[in-house]
Amino acid sequence: MKKYIAIALIATGTAAFAHSGVKDPDVMNRMMGMSALADQMKVIGSMAKGQMDFDADAVNTALAKMSKEASYIPSLFEKKALDPKSEALPVIWDEFDTFTARAKDLEAVTGSLAGTIETAADLGPAMGQIGKACGACHADFRAK
C-alpha cells in the first residue's frame, strides 16, 4: 500500500512540471485529466499516511471524483496523440480495448468505494484496491 501512496504523491508533485512545454492540446487534456485523478489520490493518500486528519466526507468525495474522472479516460485517449512530455505509451492504441477495460475497472473500484469509507482503518484496504487498479494500467500503458 505504501508503494501506491508514494507513487500517487510523486505523480501529483511532478504534474505541474511535466505539463510545461506540452504542445499537443490532446496530450495536454489527457495530462490534466490524469492530474485531476492524482489530486484526489493525494487527498486520500495524505490521510492514509497520517499527514492530514481523517475526514470521511473528504475521502468519499475524492473517490466519487476519481470515479467520474476515470470514466473520461477512454475518451481522452480516442485520438492517438503523442508528445515527448507524455508518459502514455503507443501500445495504448494497439490494445485500446484492454486499456479501456482497465480505465473502467478504476471507475468501478472507486465508484464502489465512494460512500463506504467511515473510519481511517478503511483507508488501507481502499488504497490497496485503488493502487491495483491504477497499477494495472500503468504497468502496460505508461512509461516508467
What is the rounded CA–CA span in Å between residue 39 and residue 127?
14
Mean pLDDT of 113-142: 96
131: domain CATH number is: 1.20.120.10
Band the pLDDT of 16: cuts 50, 70, 90: very low
Could you please report the per-residue DSSP string of 42-94?
Answer: HHHHHHHTTSS---HHHHHHHHHHHHHHHHHHHHHTSS----TT--B-THHHH
Mean pLDDT of 60-67: 98
How confident is the model over 97-124, as pLDDT tens digits? 999 999 999 999 999 999 999 999 999 9
State residue 48's pLDDT score.
94
Q: Which residues contact 54 (CB under 8 A, 6 or more apart)?
A: 47, 119, 120, 123
Number of domains, the chain: 1
What is the rounded CA–CA span in Å between residue 144 and residue 128?
20
What is the rounded CA–CA span in Å between residue 133 and residue 131?
5
State residue 21's pLDDT score.
79
Range of the structural domain that residue 81 is part of: 2-141
Burial (Cβ within 10 Å: 0-12, 13-18, ≥19) of residue 25: exposed
State residue 19's pLDDT score.
62
